[in-house]
Amino acid sequence: MASSGNLQNPAQCLVKNSPGKGRGVFAATSIPRHSIVEISPVLLFTKEEYEQHGKYTILDSYTFKWKNGSMALALGLGSLFNHSDSPNVSYTIDACTDSIRYIAARNIEPDEELCIYYGHNLWFDPAGAKAAVPKDELDADGWGGLTNLQPEIPSDDAIVPEEDLPFERFKPPPEEETAESIRTVQAWAVDVPDQRSIGPMLKWLKHSEVDADELGHLKRVRKQGETSTFLLNVSPEAPALPQDIQLSEPFLVKVPSSAALTTTSLAFKNVLWPTTYAPRRKGEADDWSMGKVVQEALRRRQQGELPVAAYVPTPYEASDDSSFMAHDTRQSAAHPLRHAVMNVIRHIADDRARSEDEPQTARNGTNYLLTSRILFTTHEPCIMCSMALLHSRVKEVVYLIPMEKTGGCGGSICLPTLPGVNHRFGICRWKGGTIDEAGLQLGCVNGFIEL
């Protein structure tokens, strides 16, 4: 392979010597942010091949974990990207085509080296690295400390393969999978130029009134080179900042408005701001139990209600039970708006408003109620309920019975995909399996299904 500047890929990247690092990949011309700079097919090794041979050879510095315990070696230029703590290239693994896509994370100048982030556990001394901030200080806040542009891909055995899921997921809206149309909000951010101020800043934020609930799907801190940038909030005015910490003027930054459900969407979102990747994890399965919601609906039917229920399980990461169940009370309350989904949202809002931990400003639903939460319901939510879910910023809705005439999640209309709505959520339809839907059929009122 060439060692200086005479190997070029279609995106005009060159392979050249990079001082202290061996060969590296360099831009031959300017590369605009979001451009695909390289697609590398990978060569796969079984776990055994790697354990018995690969790891004792030079290949060990080039291979990395792939699906099902196998190891991968990137072909093309993929194996030649060097590591940087402030990478200008992000990447996404495409397990369907066994390839890796490398994307420019910012505008790149001609002759700049293209680097990716290898992770925290380097097996070599990075060239030109400065002393790092102690890790304890960074992680102490529970927000995960400093972040980088690399997708945090949970290990394979922690994720349930799509085909084994008990429901089928409708693809996220396509705009969540292209760079131009990732949905964003404007948030206040501030630069912390001196790394020694990071700890005090984290402590201040934790105890301040600067409430970033609606940004819960984003990392609180982004590190680029020597500068760490803190995400503050989305208020109309810049929040007041501590006087005793050296900070820049707060500024507005465009950040993704929701977590990434796919690695492609994650790669694009990470370019804007380090974003949470929220694929399905094993262990959540209990909470996915549609059976629980169905039981509730059937129980309520015996009491004279419509057999409709909605359930918001405790989030996967949470240690305390914070699940909510509600049923349809249109019959007992003689109130046409008491749908199960509306009722469960109201329970959550009431619970929030009661909570003594919530600052006064966050009460009565002024902060978002269902950010990062999944809602299960026996029937596809109607248009009114779908709109309420949109406002509540739910992450995903899983339903059992589609409502062709009245549904707001694809039945009659799909609200989260309409242009102009300010939030998107995932939609899944339960595959049914052993659940008997017979008792859940709704009656007709004046010729219309009342949902």
Ligand X SMILES: C[S@@+](CC[C@H](N)C(=O)[O-])C[C@H]1O[C@@H](n2cnc3c(N)ncnc32)[C@H](O)[C@@H]1O
Binding site for ligand X (CB under 6 A): 20-24, 61-62, 79-80, 82-84, 124, 126-127
Residue 69's nearest CA partner among 90, 41, 42, 48 is: 48
The two structure tokens encoding residue 130: 């400065």
Q: Minimum distance between the CB of residue 96 and ligand X, rounded to whole angstroms?
A: 24
Q: Minimum distance between the CB of residue 79 and ligand X, rounded to whole angstroms?
A: 5
Q: Minimum distance between the CB of residue 130 and ligand X, rounded to whole angstroms?
A: 12
Q: Minimum distance between the CB of residue 118 and ligand X, rounded to whole angstroms?
A: 7
Q: Which is nearer to ligand X, 114 or 309 (CB)?
A: 114
Q: Which is nearer to ligand X, 80 or 435 (CB)?
A: 80
Phi/psi for 119 (5° steps) reads 120, 180
Q: CA of 311: how far to CAs of 219, 243, 328, 345, 412, in Å?
A: 28, 45, 12, 10, 23
Q: Which is nearer to ligand X, 84 or 343 (CB)?
A: 84
Q: Which is nearer to ligand X, 22 or 110 (CB)?
A: 22
H or E stretch at 63: strand 63-65
* DSSP per residue, 328-346: --HHHHT-TT--HHHHHHH
Task: List strands edge to edge, sheet with 167-169.
Answer: 167-169, 426-430, 396-401, 374-379, 309-312, 324-327
Q: Which is nearer to ligand X, 81 or 368 (CB)?
A: 81
Q: Minimum distance between the CB of residue 425 and ligand X, rounded to whole angstroms?
A: 38
Q: Which is nearer to ligand X, 20 or 161 (CB)?
A: 20
Q: Which is nearer to ligand X, 11 or 388 (CB)?
A: 11
- The 3-state DSSP composition of the chain as helix, strand, coil percent (nearest 5) reads 25, 25, 50
Q: Minimum distance between the CB of residue 151 and ligand X, rounded to whole angstroms?
A: 17
| Residue nearest to ligand X according to CB distances in the complex | 22
Taking the C-alpha atoms of residue 25 and residue 79, their distance in angstroms, rounded to an integer, is 10
- Taking a C-beta distance cutoff of 8 angstroms, is the pair 34, 268 a contact? yes
Residue 80's nearest CA partner among 102, 56, 99 is: 102
The two structure tokens encoding residue 238: 């810049």
Q: Minimum distance between the CB of residue 107 and ligand X, rounded to whole angstroms?
A: 21
Q: CA of 105: how far to CAs of 57, 87, 108, 116, in Å?
A: 32, 8, 8, 10
Residue 442's nearest CA partner among 384, 401, 398 is: 401
Q: Minimum distance between the CB of residue 17 and ligand X, rounded to whole angstroms?
A: 8
Q: Which is nearer to ligand X, 81 or 268 (CB)?
A: 81
